[in-house]
Amino acid sequence: MDRGYKAIVFYICGTAALGGLLFGLDQGFIANSIGTISRVYGLDIKSAEHYSSILATGGVLGALLSGIFARYLGRKKSMMLSGFIFCAASLVSSFLPPLTILFVCRFFLGFAIGIASFIVPLYLSETAPAQIRGAMGTLFQLLITIGIFLISLTNVFIAKWITNPQTALPVMFAVIVLFASLMFVGSLFLPESPRWLMLKGRKNDAEEVLRKTLNSEEDINREIKNIEGTLDDTGAQFGILCKGYFIKVLFVGVFIQIFQQLVGINVMIYYAPTIFGYAGLTGIVAMMAVPTVNMLFTFPAIRLVEKWGRKKLLYIGACSMFAAMIAAGAAFSMIGNNSAPSLIAAGPKMVLLIAVIFYIFGFAVSWGPVAWLVCSEIFPLQGREMGMTVTTMVNWTFAGLLMDNALTFMKVNGNSSIFFLFAFFCVLAVVFVAAFVPETKGVTLEQIEENLKAGKKMRFLGEKRSA
């Protein structure tokens, strides 16, 4: 990273990325708390799947409305709204309300995360300087993984130390309230996005924000000029749907998010302890392997996304996940339908554990951060809110489909089947990246938009202007 950037740049991006913490808190919450929730409320497998997946339903609605929030409330106030709703829904859940109310709270948690998953990448892409935009953008995914790790770890120890589930579950929810408060309070002190301020005709305010993040008046004037060059047609958002170039870039964004889910990550995040239990793997290793590896290997992505670029990381990740899913499927094929986990041989267990760890590595350094990052970069300013809205809704829709059906699919078709299916989607993801995804490393958002409107093929949108 360029040491010339002001410290406040990293403060702003780091604080905004706390929105990813909310995302991670609720992703990680299910994995090691679903047993406690099931004992308190008497949930069977299908009911547990529904409770997990209703988060995604809320996420779809949150993503749908987040474009409106982003346009009319601004990026900062939208993040504040997300943090407030998350805190409130978690607090109500901690009082162990009737099951119907608990499901409603889960829905609103998803609604809040749907807003955050839209707003945070958008805010980071519009606020961070181009040369470190990728690294700052990956902070969102890094905070997701930290949230998953922290809540998984605390839930493991709460369940261990507090044996009464009626007492343990409120404490689990209370921890979420504590963490979520960090994001809400932090968002109060953030500046607004300079690009949103320019959209609203508040040039002087935009210049003041840029003075906090850029080093010279020359840099500020250049950035203002670049932004003004993309403000010609920022009126009706829906009008951009008639533009061929927007349809093309929307197609790419939608399928990036589809593949991010179809390679299977949420099944691993939400249900890894359950899946390991099918193979006779229990204890702290089974409970914490996925969140720990997911967090640790997201750190390298912050550097690699600027060193190697977006596209190379997507290739590496998809190939790594393919190999891992084939190995995991093979392990379950060796285990077969053994209904006595204690009788399962050590070999398949180790293959499964190593395969899942390698899979999480592949995702954490690639499709986890890069999918969100690319979607925040490729849309033109006029349609950025709409593009991010649609792609975020697609992500949540496919996440919900997987969460609501994964365990049932394994029960009906055999435990190995779902891993081979994920491997197949990894292959399709590689083909898609090669054909359509651009390399956007170090390129300004305005240059990407200029290339898009000039009719360049999607995979060439990251080409820099000739000197």
Which range, 36-40, 103-107, 193-197, has the best average confidence (pLDDT)? 103-107
pLDDT at 401 exceeding the cut of 60: yes
Check which CATH number belongs to the domain holding 263 and give it.
Answer: 1.20.1250.20
- Which of the 8 DSSP states describes residue 2? -
Q: Which residue has the tokens 């996925």?
A: 290
Mean pLDDT of the region 121-125: 81
Lowest-confidence range among 30-34, 268-272, 321-325, 420-424?
A: 30-34
Does 210 fall in a domain? no
pLDDT at 340 exceeding the cut of 80: no
Tokens of 201: 């005709």
CA distances from 120 to 106, 116, 127, 187, 467 (A): 21, 6, 10, 11, 33
Lowest-confidence range among 142-146, 338-342, 419-423, 443-447?
A: 338-342
Better pLDDT: 235 or 437: 437
Q: How confident is residue 3, by pLDDT bands cut at 50, 70 and 90?
A: very low
For residues 315 and 426, give the distance between their C-alpha atoms in angstroms, rounded to a whole number.
10
Smallest CA-to-CA distance from 410 within 255, 294, 260, 268 is with: 268
Res 1: pLDDT = 40
Res 254: pLDDT = 95
For residue 442, the tally of other CB atoms under 10 A from its CB is 15
Does 444 fall in a domain? yes
Does 70 fall in a domain? yes
Burial tier of 379 (Cβ tally within 10 Å: 0-12, 13-18, 19+): buried
Res 238: pLDDT = 62
Number of domains present in the structure of the chain: 1
Q: How confident is residue 103, by pLDDT bands cut at 50, 70 and 90?
A: very high
Structural domain that includes position 397: 7-190+232-460
pLDDT at 111 exceeding the cut of 90: yes
Mean pLDDT of the region 101-126: 88
pLDDT per residue as tens digits for the range 81-102: 998 999 999 999 999 999 999 9
Tokens of 84: 């407030």
Does 428 fall in a domain? yes
Does 105 fall in a domain? yes
- Which of the 8 DSSP states describes residue 52? H
Smallest CA-to-CA distance from 293 within 272, 277, 315, 318 is with: 272
- Give the predicted TM-score (pTM) of the model: 0.74
Sign of the Cα torsion 43, 276, 288, 373 reads negative
Tokens of 237: 């958002």
Does 162 fall in a domain? yes
Smallest CA-to-CA distance from 118 within 252, 200, 255, 22 is with: 22
Does 216 fall in a domain? no
Lowest-confidence range among 128-142, 188-202, 245-259, 289-303?
A: 128-142
For residues 180 and 162, give the distance between their C-alpha atoms in angstroms, rounded to a whole number.
23
What is the Cβ-side half-sphere exposure of residue 189, based on CA atoms within 13 angstroms? Answer: 11
Does 202 fall in a domain? no
pLDDT per residue as tens digits for the range 407-433: 888 888 888 899 999 999 999 999 999
pLDDT per residue as tens digits for the range 259-317: 999 999 888 888 887 888 878 777 777 778 888 888 888 888 777 887 888 899 999 99
Query: Rounded mean pLDDT of the chain?
Result: 84
Better pLDDT: 28 or 295: 295
Smallest CA-to-CA distance from 430 within 321, 351, 346 is with: 321
